[in-house]
Amino acid sequence: MKNWKKNLMAAAVLLVVCAGIYMNWMYTNAQSVADLTDTLDAEKVMSQNGIILDLNEPVSGELEGDTVSDYFAAVRLSRQEARDNAVSLLQEAMSYGEGSGADPQAQLEQIVQTALCEAQIESLIIAKGYTDCVAYMTDTGIAVAVASPEGGMQQTDVAVIADIVITQSGFTMEQIRVVEVP
């Protein structure tokens, strides 16, 4: 009889924890998060054939001073919140000894390495004289949004940014997307 009560209690605790995780997930998904592709000009990114940078086309929806810095701050905050949620879920899985097939410790290490690489890339791009930038790395590639320099972004600017990304991340040119934020 004692075993049955212990199992029932463990199942009840597990059910409450799962319900809490589900509610947290629903709450964070309900918050509106800006999508990079909605905000940035798609004609200023790299295609699979190479860099697309149409300098003759006027920029639509230009951002003014503080709005540009607000954009970068919002993207960084969104990225950090997503990472924090993933880390907390992995820590919970590690504490309960549950895994989704993959090692939670290895996933946690991968998140940390990705964050460090993104921070290094952002720091080096800013050190090259660009006002601000944000990098977002996935398993398949990296997108770098850069504040438009005075006079607009030139091919040499994209080459400098791509060189930094290739050196720091090991991605190939086809896996890099450089986006100009006006």
Please state which CATH class domain 43-74+109-181 belongs to: mainly alpha
Give the pLDDT confidence of 48-60 residue by residue, as tens digits.
Answer: 444 444 434 444 3
Query: Which pLDDT score, from 0 to 100, does residue 75 have?
Result: 82
Give the pLDDT confidence of 145-175 residue by residue, as tens digits.
Answer: 999 888 888 899 999 999 999 999 989 999 9
Look at residue 18 and tell me whether its pLDDT is greater than 60.
Answer: yes
Rounded (5°) CA angle 148-150-154: 65
The whole-chain average pLDDT of the chain stands at: 75
| CB burial string 128-137: b at 16+ within 10 A, e below | eebebbbbbb
Contacts of 143 (CB under 8 A, 6+ apart): 36, 45, 135, 136, 177, 179
CA distance 74 to 53: 25
Cβ–Cβ under 8 Å, residues 128 and 164: yes
Give the pLDDT confidence of 102-146 residue by residue, as tens digits.
Answer: 677 788 888 888 888 998 999 999 999 998 899 999 889 999 999
Q: What is the pTM of this model?
A: 0.57
CA distance 171 to 87: 24
